[in-house]
Chain A
């Protein structure tokens, strides 16, 4: 007979142990800021320290970076290659029993950095580019990049016993070879002439002109005679004939004109502090707008700066030019709701008033429509249609031919808006937070839209060079869709973020080399 005291053992022998716990990982499995180029979409897996290429045919594979971990990626100027800033741990202690990163004493551990150039899913070249050099400008032919430390963008830790923060590097994207040049001040912006022979490097109180063949400084323009005076360029444009560099200055109502042929600097007193400057190649005009002044200036003659000034209802912070037309808007002020079309031939302006403040604006590829995303102007809906509209995000479509404008109310914050042309029609592809649909808005009839179901909520959208779009989803295990707007098809690939999920954190390249020798 079974004794009663043993019954609990009998019952427990038939059950499972509890299995549910919540565990928090220390890092994201994947970064939804993906890069799409011709051969696929590249994704950083921060936790695994891997770079994965996701193809359009539901395949994916890790890219071999020789043990290095990607920290940032970007496409080159022609969207044919991916530039990967990466780092790898180095342990100074050569003891053979040190295999994992955690085995290495903290004092012996440091990180090497490099930039890998990836083509068709393979590393084709590698260069010793320090991780803090986070800015990059590409020559028009796309074969050379000028790499520098961009202090306005997120930068990675500066490493090494001696670092020159004013150094720039010329990086040959075909071979990975680099050439350094110390320019004595940190660059802010880099412009190239159309033939790529000359680059203009702007910085605080200095402008350098560099010959891209010899990679030597041709001319240096001091923007202030007194070294104690700081002159900070806020905007720059090359004149249409590329003879002059026009500079607007932060907090100053000055326009600097640098003559690249006859080395000289002219200063033009503006009517206020300029907020943006842009060239229009079709009319060879330069357009200037002001931070706090309801005015737009058009420079029609660059040799002696002949300006035409037009009044506006509101100041504009941004200007976009396209084929003889400039679009002006303000995304700095919450009380500004105007989009201005300026005809650069006739100097006529057309005002479009939208219902909410503007966050950003794009012009359709054919120049027919301006599409703006609108921010809520109030936090709370106080009732009525006006309150509903003002408390929600929006999308404004301005028909630049008929001068009609429509302000649509969006259900949630836009994740991304991309414009596409198809069969003589222009569409906006709109992704909204937590909405599992991509909305295709016909810009000719903005109230009408078609929805294409998404497998899960979107996180970002990127235009591909092939004409399609890549949508990254809010998905822990990694999910990307490739949208072909012509076919209306959506191909989704998921699960790629699990690469090396259980991998041990091993020390790669077990050598005792110093950083940047890699």
Chain B
């Protein structure tokens, strides 16, 4: 998806100042689903990403972006006699990628402080890995599954212009944004053990998010 948009940004002719925007984002999102507790002890996961935008009017930009984050744990399983045995433990990790396409509206307030409202469609893709990671070469059981779900997010934030470069044509921005992400259930399945996929269960990774960004508009 990004491959389609990046050339469009590079070769488009700016009709106005600050036509483009680019930001690195980092954030945390809460997860309310109790099944998440098997992946992470904290009811949240974090992600880092990149957002690119193209202004279609003085106040509105079309955004594309992605975020990726990894959460993992060491799971210990009690044996029949109740003891926790490292031999019966394994590592679990999810890598959750969010791809988004949406619009950002910038409110006119102060030159350096710009409130924003963002609405975006999302495509969530999760990779789940379970790995015994024992010391024996080739001995461990490693499982890998993936699941995809669509969703949306909306949020509000505030951009602060920390610096103007190139005679004021380029802004260096710091941004904060909070909102809600709704992602429909991710359904993990084992496809390799036989003719029928075998369900592992599902997970709802919707929740409130808080992220900040470092970016530029030019």
A12-B76 contact in complex given A21-B42, A502-B203, C-beta closer than 8 Å: no
Question: CB-nearest residue of chain A relative to B88?
Answer: A476
Contact present for B174 and A6 (CB under 8 Å):
yes
Q: A351 CB to closest chain B CB, in angstroms?
A: 38
Per-position 1/0 for A490-509, Cβ under 8 A of B:
00001110111111100000
A12-B26 contact in complex given A23-B76, A479-B141, A502-B188, C-beta closer than 8 Å: yes
Identify which of B28, B76, B134 contacts A24 (C-beta below 8 A): B76
Interface stretch of the complex, out of A54-62, A274-282, A297-305: A54-62
B interface size (C-beta, 8 A): 59
Question: CB-nearest residue of chain A relative to B94?
Answer: A19
A478-B141 contact in complex given A19-B40, A21-B41, A62-B198, C-beta closer than 8 Å: yes
Contact present for B24 and A13 (CB under 8 Å):
yes
Q: A472 CB to closest chain B CB, in angstroms?
A: 12
- Complex Cα gap A465–B90 (Å): 33
Contact present for A14 and B26 (CB under 8 Å):
yes
Interface stretch of the complex, out of B12-20, B100-108, B117-125, B189-197: B189-197
Interface stretch of the complex, out of B2-10, B55-63, B65-73, B149-157: B65-73
- Complex Cα gap A436–B28 (Å): 43
Q: B58 CB to closest chain A CB, in angstroms?
A: 26
Chain A residues, Cβ within 8 Å of B79: 28
Within A429-476, which residues are at the interface with B (CB < 8 Å)? 436, 454-457, 474-476
B158 at the A/B interface (Cβ < 8 Å)?
no
Within B41-88, which residues are at the interface with A (CB < 8 Å)? 41-42, 45-46, 48, 69-80, 84, 87-88
Q: B150 CB to closest chain A CB, in angstroms?
A: 19
Contact present for A23 and B69 (CB under 8 Å):
no
Identify which of B75, B162, B193 contacts A23 (C-beta below 8 A): B75
Contact present for A25 and B76 (CB under 8 Å):
yes
Contact present for B73 and A20 (CB under 8 Å):
yes
Q: B114 CB to closest chain A CB, in angstroms?
A: 16
Footprint of B on A, CB under 8 Å?
1-3, 6, 9-10, 12-17, 19-29, 31, 58-62, 436, 454-457, 474-479, 494-496, 498-504
| A and B contact pairs by CB, cutoff 8 A, 21 listed | A2-B163, A13-B26, A14-B48, A19-B72, A20-B73, A21-B42, A22-B73, A22-B76, A25-B38, A25-B77, A25-B78, A27-B77, A28-B79, A455-B136, A475-B132, A476-B90, A477-B132, A498-B143, A499-B199, A501-B201, A502-B202
